[in-house]
Amino acid sequence: MSDKPKIFIDGEHGTTGLQIRDRLARRPDIELLSIPEEERRSPEYRADLLNKSEIAILCLPDDGSREAVVMLARAGNKTTRVIDTSTAHRTKSDWTFGFAEMTRGQRANIAGARFVSNPGCYSTGAIALLRPLVEAGMLAPDAPISINAVSGYTGGGKSLIAQMEDPSREDHIAANHFLYALKLSHKHVPEIMSRSGLSRRPIFTPNVGRFRQGMLVNIPLHLDTLSSGPSMDDVHAALAAHYSHQEFVEVVSLDESAEMPRIDAEEMAGKDSMRLYVLGEREGASVNLVASLDNLGKGASGAAVQNMDIMLGR
């Protein structure tokens, strides 16, 4: 009998699930459980693998994720650990937020948790930029914040991918770039507020571009509106201190940032790490904070695998 931890991806044929499966298929240190094609619609087979797994990674719509948790409870299962990539549990107090670099002790919280909620892609970038400044007392929780972001279209799942790539569809999207969530009520806003420590709802403007993977999240700030009126160097120092010695989050130096003519939204495509920039004039009155990540890497599948490894003590 194998002593390797059994991992079940519930929803492995979705966009996030496929990327997780691709990562784990190359791993000799785990046993990957999978539903055979002929059993994909069998709730009994699904329940059996949920209960057999050491960690179940849920790559499902919100209702499907909630159903999986109920299935475990009905079976009296108190051992299978869960990573949920949906929105269903990201603000729940009895779920641990799966962003290990978010705050001191968060990695240990994930390591000991049974239920872990994977962050959303946009919120990963926004929280990464905001939380350290709130914790440092530099950014007031009620500060008026605007968050602008652009993502590769794979973030919308199979439906949006088909709309962008198949011109024969009636709902084909021909635009190279579009703005959505026009009522300012995107599903990531509650977790951005909850996990960043904001008390005032930010204005969040998400965009999609005609590229498959990659993401930029940018937050402009007037320095004189921040507590103690910090300089650009102070803001950068707060971020650099927060993420020092982190494997998956890099704060780019001010000197390197100053030499960059542009930041490509696809620069982190295919990678599971994230780069943070503090941009502007060194002695200027404002800064633009930018997070660059792969929407399916650190923004989804890569983060899920990172959380799995932490939960397995690796």
User: Which residues are paired to 230 by β-bridges?
Assistant: none
Which residue in the block uniquely carries the two structure tokens 């993420």? 243
d(CA 287, CA 301): 30
Quick one: which H or E segment has residue 111? helix 106-112
Is 121 among the residues known to form the active site?
A: yes
d(CA 26, CA 231): 46
DSSP state of 186: -
**199: number of CA atoms within 13 Å, CB side?**
6
Residue type, 302: G
d(CA 186, CA 181): 6
Catalytic, out of 9, 56, 82, 121: 121
Backbone φ, ψ for residue 77 (5° rounding): -80, 120
Q: Is residue 245 exposed (0-12), middle (13-18) or buried (19+ Cβ within 10 Å)?
A: exposed
- The two structure tokens encoding residue 130: 């905001």
Report the SS3 class of residue 37: helix
d(CA 146, CA 74): 43
d(CA 6, CA 281): 51
Per the CB < 8 A criterion, the answer to whether 200 and 265 are in contact is: no
Helices (H) and strands (E) in the chain — how many of each? 10, 13
Known catalytic residues are 121
